[in-house]
């Protein structure tokens, strides 16, 4: 007889766009593995909606939520400036934690969270669900296959044109595109970068259209020994967006977006060798040869995630929560570890350091 699946009992803190529309909605649909039992928010109207619509127990602060003995897993979906401190509070109460991005402002924040999770024997799960996106997985597969040769350059662009005036435009709340959508692009970049230590060769943060003091344009170049150069661009001022992916290798390249990818390559073993020849070329011509290109493509087969400024697709969220259930209930290794996201936080921290941008006052777990 098959043993019944035991749902994980969940409390969500923060019922904004992410907490309500992403986490709550997905977990509600995964009722065979998760049961939302309680929520917390500072806005009474949100708590009333949650209680009336779903019957969740409601709390006005996190301390009450983590004191609820029935809650096993706390989803931290509060504004960015509170992520590390709220996650740490839940971990110290012995709760498993899913923490939204940016997952802390500094490496010290992440180290404190990891230490608390290890001390109390609970799971700390970064919410980097876009690592499950089909186009990202396909790009990684092609890059690692060797088909394109040694990867020398990766360009990742999320372009849009829009104004914004909410808390995400305020540095005091940890707003700005580097902390908002930047964690997704940089996570993708580092997953493709390889094992080398990434160096922030250059970073530009610019405020152009939003109504606050935080950036809405981000440009970063990463480099490292025996690693590709990676350029990340996230903008709110691009009226003519470029494709999301641009990969260059010694045997070919890849281009495309969330809907379709195309890659082409040359099999150099089928081409004549070309040793260096320092003699003048015939007829003063440039070197030229007919390349025997091979080409392949991939199509998503369904609606792709729209990227920056749009609600994320649900399927990557579902996959992350399925893997998390297996980790908590069956002890399987985490697919996306806090240690891997620590590397990404280090890049964000260095970008802000280079740009002279202060961290939100009182937001860090370690000063």
Tokens read off for 289:
């040869």
pLDDT(88) > 70:
yes
Q: Are 66 and 37 in contact (CB under 8 A)?
A: no
- How crowded is the C-beta side of 29, counted as CA atoms within 13 Å? 13
C-alpha span between 251 and 253 (Å, rounded): 7
Question: Which domains, from first to last, does the chain contain?
Answer: 8-130+321-338 (3.40.50.720), 134-275+289-299 (3.30.360.10)
pLDDT for position 366:
45
Residue 117's closest CA among 92, 82, 85? 92
How many whole angstroms separate alpha carbon 343 and alpha carbon 115? 16
Q: What percent of the chain has pLDDT over 90?
A: 88
- Which distant-in-sequence residues (6+ apart) come within 8 Å of 93 by Cβ? 66, 67
How far is it, in rounded angstroms, from Cα 52 to Cα 44?
12
C-beta separation of 259 from 244 below 8 A: no
**pLDDT value at residue 33:** 97
Closest CA to 235 of 253, 212, 219: 219
Q: What is the mean pLDDT of residues 155-161?
A: 97
Looking at the DSSP bridge assignments, the partners of residue 276 are: none
Q: Give the integer Cα–Cα distance in Å for 172 and 363.
A: 9
Dump pLDDT digits (tens) for 273-299: 999 999 999 889 999 999 999 999 999
Question: What's the mean per-residue pLDDT of the chain?
Answer: 93
- Mean pLDDT computed over 253-277: 96
pLDDT in tens, 210-225: 999 999 999 999 999 9
């Amino acid at each position: 007889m098959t043993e019944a699946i035991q749902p994980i009992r969940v409390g969500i803190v923060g019922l904004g766009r992410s907490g309500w529309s992403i986490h709550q909605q997905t977990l509600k649909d995964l009722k065979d593995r998760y049961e939302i039992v309680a929520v917390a928010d500072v806005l009474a109207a949100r708590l009333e909606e949650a209680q009336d619509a779903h019957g969740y127990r409601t709390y006005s602060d996190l301390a009450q939520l983590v004191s609820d003995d029935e809650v096993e897993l706390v989803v931290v979906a509060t504004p960015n400036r509170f992520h590390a401190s709220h996650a740490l509070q839940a971990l110290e109460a012995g709760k498993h934690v899913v923490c939204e991005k940016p997952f802390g402002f500094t490496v010290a924040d992440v180290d404190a969270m990891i230490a608390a999770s290890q001390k109390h024997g609970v799971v700390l799960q970064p919410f980097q669900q876009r690592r499950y996106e089909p186009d990202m997985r396909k790009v990684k597969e092609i890059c690692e296959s060797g088909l394109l040769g040694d990867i020398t350059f990766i360009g990742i662009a999320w372009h849009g044109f829009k104004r914004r005036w909410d808390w995400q435009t305020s540095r005091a709340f940890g707003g700005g595109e580097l902390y908002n959508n930047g964690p997704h692009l940089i996570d993708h970049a580092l997953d493709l970068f390889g094992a080398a230590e990434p160096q922030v060769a250059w970073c530009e943060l610019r405020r152009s259209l939003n109504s606050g003091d935080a950036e809405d344009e981000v440009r970063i170049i990463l480099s490292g020994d025996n690693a590709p150069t990676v350029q990340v661009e996230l903008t709110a001022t691009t009226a003519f967006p470029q494709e999301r992916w641009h990969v260059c290798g010694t045997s070919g390249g890849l281009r495309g977006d969330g809907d379709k990818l195309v890659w082409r390559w040359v099999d150099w073993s089928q081409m004549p060798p070309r040793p260096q020849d320092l003699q003048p070329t015939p007829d003063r011509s440039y070197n030229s040869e007919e390349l025997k290109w091979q080409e392949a493509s991939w199509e998503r087969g369904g609606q792709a995630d729209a990227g920056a400024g749009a609600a994320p697709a649900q399927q990557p969220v579902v996959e992350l929560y399925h893997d998390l259930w297996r980790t908590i209930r069956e002890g399987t290794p985490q697919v996306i570890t806090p240690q891997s996201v620590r590397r990404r936080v280090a890049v964000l921290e260095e970008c802000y350091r280079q740009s002279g941008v202060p961290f939100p006052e009182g937001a860090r777990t370690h000063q």
